Structure 1
């Protein structure tokens, strides 16, 4: 079976080749992202393997179908960049990796919180320069703070367990309540109440029409002054322009993001020698209370192992005409 892997980095190729040591599959790795402009590269392939910033819209899928592609294997949990209905219309199955290492993303969320709060990134740079002053490095105790968790799937649940260990009060919003989290002391509330009562808000929900720009000027107005907002889920959960206004007006006291609304043109690339044309990311970087990482929350050895293995299992199930337990329907 011939598989085209798009948006490939060296580590993607390394993991797929390590787990394909018996050469069961014929992989071709493309550094370019998958779009309607690059979809002709899929001619002669049975499966395409795509990632978060590939643009698999109707135009792309029509070309995939024409080229004989039968399976889109997403090596990530999200699939908001795939036109699922178009794929169904053209008889192309779509599978994903619904969970790999929820602790990886949850722990990175906590890393953003701690770094923003205790300013360890700034302290590191100061000490390297021989500056041992504590001026402007003051933080706050996490113990006793109220943390709002939007989305309590596997990642959100892992995040709740960690924050419970810090002694935080936990409020959550989700369409489905977790009895395990309730028993642990998490209190489910309407989204407006979560926004109003939380000192820290961490987003762990998927991107859907209902959650797009869930953080906007209206929801920001409900939040506490100086609120900390963390997003390791999907960039478009936050209206970037409104967040910038909130930062400028000091409504948002801290913001940590591992995802960004227009990240497909930036993240995973070395642009250090380029002139970045994205005014929003430049403005965000100008705030001393904003911390941006480039979609690395998932990036642990354990997560990469699971992503690779589950993706290969999905492809094998398709090849053997078995039930696709991770199919997007």
Structure 2
């Protein structure tokens, strides 16, 4: 099997080449994203395209993949909102993903962002480097006994709920499919409005669907407690960026941590340090002292990358052998 990787970074090459010793596939890497132009880079001996979160796998791209006899689309991530599944099924192209890769990695990054914002570690770090040892402006609050709202309790959300419970917080959760184990552990499921009204901290861990698109919007922000801390390590379009900026300016949102961004496909995974950032909203967000932005790195641990590489290649091995994947929710 020959696999063409798009949006591949040096670490993708390292981890997939290492893992491929157990599979012996032919791997080809492109550092650019997949779209209706770059799809022309695929030669007709390619069986599979392997894509990431910001690759564009819409109907037009899938039709071209079909013309090139591509059999499989492998997502090396959990989310699949960038793939037109209906068109893939129409052309008989199998789609697979990595539904669960080290959920602890993303949950731990969420926790790190929360601690950093609350105790202003990022500001303290820069201040001390300038030999400024004043504590003025660095006041935080105890996380202990605060109310935390978690929207989405899949693999990652469940881990984060347990982390926050262990810190002595009251955890409120929302999910279309409540987790009975979490309920037994003292996590209380409520409606979204109650999460918005009662939470001191809100963390997003849900997939991007038509229903969750802009779940953080002017109306939901208006319902929130004054000074709420909002964290998003899931999908950028869960947050209406314009409304969130207004919420920050009005001090309704006391702090914002985002590892994902609504228009991240134009910015993230690139070194733009020698250029002027053209995205005015992102530029504005990074100017706020109470906003922390990381560039989609929550998944970025050795353990997670190892698992992503192995599961992706194993999915393809199973599809090649039996045309189905056994034992996990990987086939779409």
Using the size of structure 2 for normalisation, the TM-score is 0.97
The corresponding residue for 1:308 is 309
Q: How many residues align?
A: 329
Deviation at 1:328, TM superposition (A): 4.3
The corresponding residue for 1:31 is 31
Using the size of structure 1 for normalisation, the TM-score is 0.98
Q: Distance in 1 between matches of 2:23 and 2:193?
A: 52
Q: Distance in 2 between matches of 1:232 and 1:80?
A: 16
Specify the SS of the correspondent of 1:103. Answer: helix
Q: Distance in 2 between matches of 1:308 and 1:231?
A: 25
Contact 1:93 1:327 in 2 (8 A): no
Deviation at 1:91, TM superposition (A): 0.8
Deviation at 1:24, TM superposition (A): 1.1
Deviation at 1:183, TM superposition (A): 1.3
Deviation at 1:322, TM superposition (A): 4.5
Q: Deviations over 1:2-21 (max 9, x none)?
A: 10011000000000111112
Contact 1:43 1:68 in 2 (8 A): no
Q: Deviations over 1:32-86 (max 9, x none)?
A: 1000110011222000100000010111111111011010000000000001111
The corresponding residue for 1:161 is 162
Q: Distance in 1 between matches of 2:68 and 2:21?
A: 28
Specify the SS of the correspondent of 2:116. Answer: helix
Deviation at 1:323, TM superposition (A): 2.4
The answer to whether structure 1 residue 267 and structure 2 residue 261 are counterparts is no
The corresponding residue for 1:46 is 47
The corresponding residue for 1:287 is 288
Specify the SS of the correspondent of 2:257. Answer: strand
The answer to whether structure 1 residue 126 and structure 2 residue 130 are counterparts is no
Contact 2:99 2:330 in 1 (8 A): no
Q: Distance in 2 between matches of 1:308 and 1:190?
A: 37
Q: Deviations over 1:63-122 (max 9, x none)?
A: 111011010000000000001111111111100000010000000000000000001111
The corresponding residue for 2:322 is 321
Contact 2:325 2:331 in 1 (8 A): no
Alignment of 1:61-100 (within 5 A): 61-100=62-101
The corresponding residue for 1:16 is 16
| Runs (5+) with no aligned partner, structure 1 | none
The corresponding residue for 1:7 is 7
Q: Deviations over 1:164-218 (max 9, x none)?
A: 1110000000011111111111110011111111000000000000000000000
Contact 2:76 2:312 in 1 (8 A): yes
Deviation at 1:327, TM superposition (A): 4.3
The corresponding residue for 2:216 is 215
Alignment of 1:128-143 (within 5 A): 128-143=129-144
Q: Deviations over 1:145-177 (max 9, x none)?
A: 000000001100000111111100000000111
**RMSD of the TM alignment (CA)?**
1.0
Contact 2:98 2:330 in 1 (8 A): no
| Runs (5+) with no aligned partner, structure 2 | none
Contact 1:42 1:69 in 2 (8 A): no
Q: Distance in 1 between matches of 2:110 and 2:324?
A: 34
